Amino acid sequence: MAPRSRRRRHKKLISSVASMVVTPPPVVTPMPLTPSEPGPSIDALGFLSLENNVPGLSQLILQKLNMKSYEEYKLVVDGGIPGSGFGFRCPQEMFQKMEDTFRFCAHCRALPSGLSDSKVLRHCKRCRNVYYCGPECQKSDWPAHRRVCQELRLVAVDRLMEWLLITGDFVLPSGPWPWPAEVVQDWENWFSMKGLQLDAAIDAALGSHAMTTLWASIRRPRPDPDTLQGSLKRLLTDALSRPLTMGLGLRAFRIDVGKTGGSTVHVIGASHVETFLARPGDYDELGYMFPGHLGLRVIMVGVDVATGFSQSTSTSPLEPGTVQLSGHKGLYHDFWEEQIETGQIARPDLAVAFHPGFHSTPDLMEAWLPTLLLLRDYEIPTLITVYSHQELATSLQILVELDTHITAYGANPFTSLKPEQVYSNPNKQPVYCSAYYIMFLGSSCQLDKRQLEETLDGGV
């Protein structure tokens, strides 16, 4: 067991690490955060950062959602009961107000409230995603927009089609894998394996009443079948990317999923993305990736875990072949001291952090530092995902400075194929969830800085 004193000495931000953390510009119009949060909330930081590029955008979003403050927004995201004003009278109003939150000029950043009577925001006719207040701004912005216009067209369709996943009208194909698990190495293999079952699920969604109602409510022409089919496949990869990426980690570290009592994966820094609207069967695909496993326990830990998410961290043996989800609201190193060091639950077989973001701000780096050192010192197999090659490079440099033993990194074969638009900077290149991964185990990194730089310069 690693000595606790070694870990506790590094509660403050290491200066060499701090120099690599990118500090964002100050928020123009700060909004009050919930004072009871045990640490920096990446959800809150993301919401407030909208003001950096488009002053007033966060207030516009709250207005369109019929909310008065960020606290009320956070309450809903956490699964709480919203105020009496929240809600929509019909699907048409909901989709219209959702679209209204994207209405600002992509070039001059003007909101509808800041336009003169002679101007009106109109979207790009190609992507139907980005808005401009006039021909001058659209023409000036075209060199930047042309590079992402096609991808943003996919974003616009996916944003609407995602409603079918939320309502359960698009049912993901599920069940034991008919192929040997070791053959399924990426999405191409997975799609081939699912074959007719996947086609049937997509055809059912395309022909459903829910699909017809969706496009009638949006009041725009329904895209062609190929476009809708492509969107459903992208949404499917987005939903299954997390469990299959966990499986990638279990495989790479050769975790014994056949041990008595089952195996445990901790998702560190979990937020509403992983826990809000989560269903019991969301991680069944992880179980099918390991036929014959004796139970997989997935515990989500983070300050932004949804309130309504299961808080049970039962240690009773799992039924063979089952996947159990549970959550804990708080910082991971506190959870470790309260639950693991006291012997209430066992150490995890694998720790996973989806987009931890510790490279982005000093506050997040300081919050993550005790956890990163804990994972290093206790030699917990750890997998981290990031959005881009730039984030990969910066995160690797930080982990090298922390003397972690990096065992592997690269492009994730189970990345989400759904492009993600940067909300307040729509012409920035879209990113993909869990596009790259980093794995580390213990300390004494095998890559020195010079090797790392040479490897990154050559691509991954």
Residues 6+ apart with CB under 8 A from 320: 293, 294, 295
pLDDT at 31 exceeding the cut of 50:
no
Q: Are 389 and 251 in a shared domain?
A: yes
What is the tens place of the pLDDT at every residue in 333-361? Answer: 999 999 999 988 889 999 999 999 999 88
Q: Are 140 and 252 in a shared domain?
A: no
pLDDT at 103 exceeding the cut of 80:
yes
Exposure of 338 in the CB half-sphere (CA atoms within 13 A)? 10
Q: Tell me if 157 is assigned to some domain.
A: no
pLDDT at 311 exceeding the cut of 90:
no
pLDDT at 332 exceeding the cut of 90:
yes
**Structural domain count, the chain:** 2
pLDDT at 262 exceeding the cut of 50:
yes
Q: Are 301 and 417 in a shared domain?
A: yes
**What pLDDT is recorded for position 32?**
39
Last-in-domain residue among 150, 180, 212: 150
DSSP 118-173: T---EE-TTTS--EESSHHHHHHHHHHHTTTHHHHHHHHHHHHHHHHHHHT-SPPP
Last-in-domain residue among 150, 183, 202: 150
**What pLDDT is recorded for position 46?**
64
- Per-residue pLDDT, averaged over 11-22, amounts to 47
Residue range of the domain that includes 108: 42-150
**What pLDDT is recorded for position 63?**
73
**What pLDDT is recorded for position 99?**
84
Judge contact between 431 and 422, C-beta under 8 A: yes
Separation of alpha carbons 32 and 77, rounded Å: 16
**What pLDDT is recorded for position 271?**
84
Q: Tell me if 174 is assigned to some domain.
A: no
Closest CA to 104 of 160, 64, 153, 162: 64
Q: Are 289 and 418 in a shared domain?
A: yes
Q: Tell me if 290 is assigned to some domain.
A: yes
**What pLDDT is recorded for position 11?**
45
Q: Tell me if 427 is assigned to some domain.
A: yes
Amino acid found at 440? F
pLDDT at 149 exceeding the cut of 90:
yes
Separation of alpha carbons 199 and 300, rounded Å: 32
Last-in-domain residue among 92, 125, 150: 150
pLDDT at 50 exceeding the cut of 90:
no
pLDDT-derived band of residue 3, with 50, 70 and 90 as boundaries? very low
Q: Which helix (H) or strand (E) holds 177?
A: none
Of 63-72, 97-106, 273-282, 301-310, highest mean pLDDT: 97-106
CATH of the domain at 334: 3.40.50.150
Separation of alpha carbons 39 and 45, rounded Å: 11
- Per-residue pLDDT, averaged over 199-222, amounts to 92
**What pLDDT is recorded for position 396?**
96
Q: Are 282 and 406 in a shared domain?
A: yes
**What pLDDT is recorded for position 433?**
96
Q: Tell me if 19 is assigned to some domain.
A: no
pLDDT at 430 exceeding the cut of 90:
yes
Separation of alpha carbons 219 and 207, rounded Å: 18
Percentage of residues in the chain with pLDDT exceeding 90? Answer: 59
**What pLDDT is recorded for position 43?**
62
Q: Tell me if 442 is assigned to some domain.
A: yes
Judge contact between 302 and 268, C-beta under 8 A: yes
Q: Tell me if 161 is assigned to some domain.
A: no
What is the tens place of the pLDDT at every residue in 106-141? Answer: 999 999 888 877 678 999 999 999 999 999 999 999
Q: Tell me if 439 is assigned to some domain.
A: yes
Which tokens sit at 71? 């606290």
Q: Are 253 and 397 in a shared domain?
A: yes
pLDDT-derived band of residue 432, with 50, 70 and 90 as boundaries? very high
DSSP 272-335: HHHHTT--GGGGHHHHHTSTT-S-EEEEEEETT--TTS------SPPPTT-EEEEEEES-HHHH
pTM for this model (two decimals): 0.83
Q: Is 264 helix (H, G, I), strand (E, B) or coil?
A: strand
Q: Are 259 and 381 in a shared domain?
A: yes
Mean pLDDT for all residues in the chain: 84
